[in-house]
Chain A
Amino acid sequence: MSLLEERRRGLTDPAMAAQIMAEIPDQPLDTQRKMGYYVQPRGKRLTEYEIMTCYTQPTPDWISGGLDWGDWTQKFHGGRSSWGNETTELLSSDWHLHRDPAARWHPVYVKAKGEDWRVLQRFMETFSAEGALRTIDPVWRDEILPKHLGALGYSEYGLFNAHSSVLRDCTGDTLRSTFAFAAFDKVDNSQMTQLVRTFIHKMMPGYDDSPAIGKKEWTEGAAYKSARETVETMWQETYDWNEVMFAVHMIYDPLFGQLVRREFFQRLSPAYGDSLTPFVIAGVQTYFQTTKAAMADIYHHCLDNDKNHGGFNRRWMHVWMEKWLPKTVAAMAEFMSVYATLPAREGFTDNASIAASVNRVVEDWIVDYANKIDYKVDQSAMVATIMAGLK
């Protein structure tokens, strides 16, 4: 880089610049200046997100939508393809069809998260200066947060890891960035659950912020047995990248994740004087909503509606529902046992309030996920199964 400083530059050195200018034609050699002019825009015109992302995946034409021809130049030991159609059961007429409704390419994504970080840091300074920790119920602070916000961190961390093989194997570029951003949000979420407890520790030095308590709860506690096993299965035993993403983002996270994040922490924190956790979870929920819209585009708009393979894909998605929904419902039912450990609060911890919570999650999920692919679910039966876990 130092060499660069010493060297004469063609743009600013008058003699060099003159020689360059002399070679430049008066008129451009082509009138088409739109990069990616051959890309099908989702909206009226191509967005910068589409221009930067579309067709960066160099797949051959025998993987739908690919622009290259021929074979891979190096394969796995034994001859398996670099990327291949055999890595998923779903079929697509074009793996480049997906568009993230939030049109996120890298700078857009990091700008938003960087801003979230700055806002969060300003919030923490204010929160500590206000002494706002004083209003938090000690049981909530010393028991519930270490155990259950801690355990949520492990759930999020496991889901994060379920994305690694997906990012290796998926066959589209817009898919890859959507999955990567979803993954990054998940590891961020797990770090944020740690941040809440570390922040409390900084205001209250005797407070134990090690993740050990949450880890014990997650790995040994009865409340998380099914959740943990489900996450482990998504992470390390499922090879089909669409199945992994469908199980994580179309079943487990909008059900179990929403129950724990929105209905447990977000709804209950005010009852225990906690204004810190909801602030952090609110950020997590923003990511959830953005991801939800992107995943709906992949699994509903693109794959379920695929002009050639929609029916076939729907059958597979139903098969995955049969496989992952019971596990998720079991995880939710087991989580119900946590409510019994809470100090009672009228309007928050009574059975009717909890049932309303569960109903909200299940109903949202049926409307936004199950109905979209015509998967029949009996809401009251599902709620009853979950509520049966209440101690």
Chain B
Amino acid sequence: MAISLATNAATDALALNRAPTSVGAQEVHKWMQDFNWDFKNNRTKYPTKYLMANDTKEQFKLIAKEYARMESVKDERQFGSLQDALTRMNAGNRVAPKWGETMKVVSNFLEVGEYNAIAASAMLWDSASAPEQKNGYLGQVMDEIRHTHQCGYVNYYFSKYFHDPAGHTDARRVRTLGPLWKGMKRVFADGFISGDAVECSINLQLVGEACFTNPLIVAVTEWASANGDEVTPTVFLSIETDELRHMANGYQTVVSIAHDPAAAKYLNTDLNNAFWTQQKYFTPVLGMLFEYGSKFKVEPWVKTWNRWVYEDWGGIWIGRLGKYGVQSPASLKDAKKDAYWAHHDLFLLAYAVWPTGFFRLALPSKEDADWFEANYPGWYDHYGKIYEEWRARGCEDPSSGFIPLQWFVENNHEIYIDRVSQVPFCPSLTKGASSLRIHEYNGKKHAFSDEWGERMWLSEPERYECQNVFEQYAGRELSEVIAELWGVRSDGVTLIGQPHVTKEGKLWTLDDIKRANCVFKDPLA
């Protein structure tokens, strides 16, 4: 082949200029959209009722090597802080006990969300046809692996330094014991990966990340720092730097389907379901973890919720998507009601079944009670009195043999688990909006606590039939189940979960639980 004109020109240019040069990430990325090719069966393995456009772009234009470089710089900072300054300050131990317990749940449950988000983003990468859109989702796949490991690292760090390592060391094994676990899986695991790919994207990115990641990741860092925990902010704020990419991905998902007629038909229903699904769990659980799982308070959950969920997300974020036909979910108003009392209702139940936790819980102190009453007037008359009664009956002390769950039985306060959200509720004791509905399906009874979940059930019951902890262990004695599901410490007898965090208080053992003779019972049987 003859030397081309271009070659001649270039050889001349080279003779003139040998300035050092290299190639930037953008210069490679600009060709990305051409990396695809058409072929007969080029379609996704995860069908969606929406059509994602072929020319969708991404906002964070990274190539693999540049991604790795950027993340690795963040890692250096994060691990540097943790392993150097914070370790020398003994920061992993100088955390308010209640908060150090809360982080057992927060970090591990968030880890599950991160882990499932790997699979969820992979499904979206499979579903998208535009290479740039695929690339955006791929970046998220890698980020979520990072976050999974980072969340694990928080528990790992506290395992080494916190004064109560149990639960941090083995959350991945013991977590399935408690009644909050399955609900967590609904919102943070299965909700991200099982369904129409776009529906999953809405669950993960449009709601999970854009709406609840802020309270979860950013607010947690504020509560943590107030309670002496600088470990969590070091890690979580580093996680948060990646989340912008994920929210952008959610935005691009909507952009990519905006011109598809199916979007006009289904998008707002899917969004409403996703929002209700996520809020049904996060609204009470986050509020409970912050307010009941801390010594020093930051602000009432209802305020945080209104600012981030109602105004920022429901107003501004969704507003920005308005031009694509996206509307604020119809269930937002009902959720707003939940944001006041639902977390108080839930803590009552969570404390009542404290032996099934992998963390120590504590009754509200005098200071806590004053703060609750000041911020939630009416709190004392409904909840405060009950805690006083439990405390008087010695619920913290193993020698009392009293587990508050017994009080529910004595007073005929039946505890149900909502089939769709898997969140427990007690219709006769709730101050929030929950109310009992029961349906029969496949020869089995199913309880529900609200209209939105009930609707999801009625249209697709086959998606939500999962049995709950009461059904699974019906008839079994509590200490037996705790032992079976690894709920004990390294001495083999002392429970990981405890009903207090005081220095002086005695720790409960399997025998103490056995003496109380609590038996799992399915209220629907």
Query: Chain A: residues with CB nearer than 8 A to chain B?
Result: 1, 3-4, 7-11, 16-17, 19-21, 23-38, 48, 51-58, 67-83, 105-107, 109-118, 120-122, 124-126, 128-131, 133-134, 138-139, 141-143, 153-154, 157, 161, 163-169, 173, 176-177, 180, 183-185, 187-188, 190-191, 194-195, 198-199, 202-212, 215, 218-219, 228, 232, 235-237, 239
Residue B228, interface by CB 8 Å: yes
- Contact, CB under 8 Å: B490 / A4: no
Contact B64 A23 (CB under 8 A): no
User: Which 5 A-B pairs have CB atoms at the shortest separation, nearest pair first?
Assistant: A204-B10, A206-B6, A10-B228, A167-B122, A113-B68
- A9 to chain B: which residues have CB within 8 Å? 225-226, 228, 230
From B10, B146, B501, A106 is in contact (CB under 8 Å) with B146
Which chain B residues lie closer than 8 Å to A83 at the CB level?
193
Contact A75 B194 (CB under 8 A): yes
Residues of A within 8 A of B155 (CB): 35
15 contacts between A and B (CB under 8 A): A34-B169, A35-B156, A52-B149, A68-B176, A72-B190, A79-B462, A117-B69, A157-B35, A164-B123, A165-B126, A168-B46, A184-B64, A190-B35, A191-B64, A198-B31
Residues of A near B79 (CB, < 8 A) are: 107
Task: Report the nearest A residue to B145, measured CB to CB.
Answer: A106
State in angstroms the CA–CA spacing of A157 and B118 once bound together: 20
The interface bits of chain B over 126-144 (1 if a CB of A lies within 8 angstroms of the residue's CB, else 0) are 1000000011001001100
With contact pairs A23-B503, A128-B19, A191-B63 given, residues A176 and B37 touching in the complex (Cβ less than 8 Å):
no
Contact between A7 and B166 (Cβ–Cβ < 8 Å)?
A: no
With both chains docked as a complex, state the minimum distance between the C-beta of A43 and any C-beta of chain B, in angstroms: 18
Do A11 and B112 form a contact, CB below 8 Å, given A30-B164, A73-B464?
no
Asked if B152 contacts A56 (CB within 8 A), the reply is: yes
Docked complex Cα distance between A187 and B132 (Å): 12
Bound Cα distance A138, B472 (Å): 72
Do A202 and B464 contact each other (CB < 8 Å), given the known contacts A9-B230, A35-B168? Answer: no
A20 / chain B contacts, CB cutoff of 8 Å? 94-96, 227-228, 295
- A sample of 4 more A-B contacts (CB under 8 A), given A33-B165, A190-B35, is A16-B228, A106-B71, A109-B68, A191-B32
A contact residues around B1 at 8 Å (CB):
138-139, 142-143
**Is chain A's interface secondary structure helix, strand, loop, or mixed overall?**
helix
- Give B456-471 as 1s and 0s: 1 = Cβ < 8 Å from A's Cβ atoms: 0000101111110000
Main secondary structure of the interface of B (DSSP, over half): helix
Q: What residues on A are CB-neighbors of B164 within 8 Å?
A: 28-30
- For window 1-33 of B, CB contacts with A under 8 Å fall at 1, 3-7, 9-11, 13-14, 18-23, 27-29, 31-32
Residues B442-497 near A (CB distance < 8 A):
460, 462-467, 472, 486, 489-490
Q: Are B14 and A165 in contact (CB under 8 A)?
A: no
Given contacts A116-B65, A128-B21, contact A30 B166 (CB under 8 A): yes
Stretch at the interface among B181-189, B372-380, B402-410: B181-189
Q: A169 vs B22: C-alpha distance in the bound complex, in angstroms? A: 39
Contact of B41 among A16, A154, A215, A236 (CB under 8 A): A236
Complex-state Cα separation, A169 to B119, whole angstroms: 7
B interface, CB within 8 angstroms of A? 1, 3-7, 9-11, 13-14, 18-23, 27-29, 31-32, 34-37, 39-43, 45-46, 63-73, 75, 79, 89, 91, 93-97, 111-112, 115-116, 118-120, 122-123, 125-126, 134-135, 138, 141-142, 145-146, 148-150, 152-153, 155-156, 159-160, 163-166, 168-170, 172-173, 176, 182-183, 185-186, 189-191, 193-196, 218, 221-222, 225-230, 233, 237, 295-296, 298, 422, 460, 462-467, 472, 486, 489-490, 501-503, 507
User: Which of A31, A128, A131 has the most B CB atoms < 10 Å from its CB?
Assistant: A128
Q: Which one, B64, B91, B135, B229, contacts A113 given CB within 8 A?
A: B64
Q: Is the CB of B173 within 8 A of A67?
A: yes
Residue on B nearest A23 in the bound complex, by CB: B97
Indicate whether A236 sits within 8 Å of B45 (C-beta atoms), given known contacts A36-B172, A52-B153.
yes
B4 & A3 in contact (Cβ 8 Å cutoff): no
Question: A1-B218, A55-B173 in contact; A74/B463 too (CB < 8 A)?
Answer: yes
Q: Which of A8, A11, A116 contacts B94 (CB 8 A)?
A: A11
Contacts of B122 in A (CB 8 A): 163-168, 180
Q: Is the CB of B7 within 8 A of A204?
A: yes
Given A9-B230, A73-B186, do A25 and B503 touch, yes or no (CB 8 Å)?
A: yes
Residue of A nearest to B468 (CB): A70
Contacts of A139 in B (CB 8 A): 1
Give the residues in chain A near B229, CB-CB below 8 Å: 10-11
Distance A118 CA – B9 CA, assembled complex (angstroms): 30
**B118 x A176 contact (CB < 8 A):** yes
Report whether A82 and B194 are in contact in the complex, using a CB–CB cutoff of 8 Å.
yes
- With a cutoff of 8 Å between Cβ atoms, the chain A residues found around residue B173 in the complex are 38, 55, 67
Q: Across the interface, do B123 and A168 meet the contact criterion of CB distance under 8 Å?
A: yes
| Complex partner residue of B23 from A37, A73, A124, CB under 8 angstroms | A124
Q: B464 contacts A205, CB within 8 Å?
A: no
Question: Which residue on chain A has the smallest CB distance to residue B174?
Answer: A67
CA distance A37 to B9 in the complex (A): 66
Output the nearest chain B residue to A22 by Cβ-Cβ distance.
Answer: B503
Assembly CA distance A38 to B163 (angstroms): 20
Least CB separation from A212: chain B residue: B34
How far is it, in angstroms, between the C-alpha of A52 and the C-alpha of B68 when the chains are bound? 19
Cα distance A332–B100 when bound, in Å? 59
- A167 touching B64 by the CB < 8 A rule? no
A124 to B149, CA, bound (A): 34
Inter-chain contacts of A53 with B (CB < 8 A): 149, 152
Give chain A residues whose Cβ lies under 8 Å from the Cβ of B19. 128-129
Known: A38-B170, A74-B190. A177 touches B145 (CB 8 A): yes
CB–CB A106/B149 < 8 A: yes
State whether A73 touches B190 (Cβ < 8 A).
yes
- The interface residues of chain A lying within 8 Å CB-to-CB of B165 are 28-30, 32-33
| B185 / chain A contacts, CB cutoff of 8 Å | 58, 72-73
What chain B residues lie within 8 Å of A24 (beta carbons)?
Answer: 93-94, 97, 163, 503
> Would you give the shortest CB distance from A12 to chain B, in whole angstroms?
9
Is A67 a contact of B149 with CB atoms below 8 Å? no
Contact A113 B65 (CB under 8 A): yes
A212 CA to B37 CA in the complex, in Å? 11
Contact present for A33 and B169 (CB under 8 Å): yes
Q: Are A125 and B22 in contact (CB under 8 A)?
A: yes
A184: nearest chain-B partner, CB-CB: B64
Whole-angstrom CA separation of A34 from B22 in the bound complex? 46
A180 with B118, Cβ < 8 A, contacts A23-B97, A23-B295, A30-B489 known:
yes
Q: Verify A198–B466 contact, CB threshold 8 A.
A: no
For B97, the chain A residues whose CB sits under 8 A away are 23-24
Q: What are the residues of chain B within 8 A of A37 when measuring CB–CB?
A: 169-170
Cα A338 to Cα B304 in complex, Å, equals 65
A residues within 8 A CB of B150? Answer: 106
Min distance, Cβ B26 to any Cβ of chain A, angstroms: 10
Expressed in whole angstroms, the Cα–Cα distance for A29 and B498 within the complex equals 11
Q: How far is the CB of A8 from chain B (nearest CB, A)?
A: 7
* B166 adjacent to A23 (CB under 8 Å): no
A-chain residues with CB within 8 Å of residue B93 when the two chains form the complex: 24
Q: A34-B159, A35-B159, A236-B41 are in contact. Are A210 and B462 (CB under 8 A)?
A: no
CB <8 Å contact, B159 and A23: no
Q: Are B13 and A204 in contact (CB under 8 A)?
A: yes
Min C-beta distance of A73 to chain B, whole Å: 4
Chain B residue with Cβ nearest A81: B194
What's the nearest-Cβ distance from chain B to residue A227, in Å?
12
| A126: contacting residue among B20, B125, B142, CB under 8 A | B20
Nearest CB in chain B to that of A173: its residue: B115
CA distance A48 to B172 in the complex (A): 15
Quick one: given A114-B65, A117-B68, are A207 and B126 in contact (CB under 8 Å)? no
In the complex the two chains form, is B14's CB within 8 Å of A129's CB?
no
In the complex, residue of chain A having the shortest beta-carbon distance to the beta carbon of B40: A232
A188–B65 CB distance below 8 A? yes
A71→B472 CA distance, assembly (Å)? 10
Question: A202, B119: Cβ atoms under 8 Å?
Answer: no
Q: Is there contact, CB below 8 Å, between A203 and B94?
A: no
A161 touches B37 (CB 8 A): no
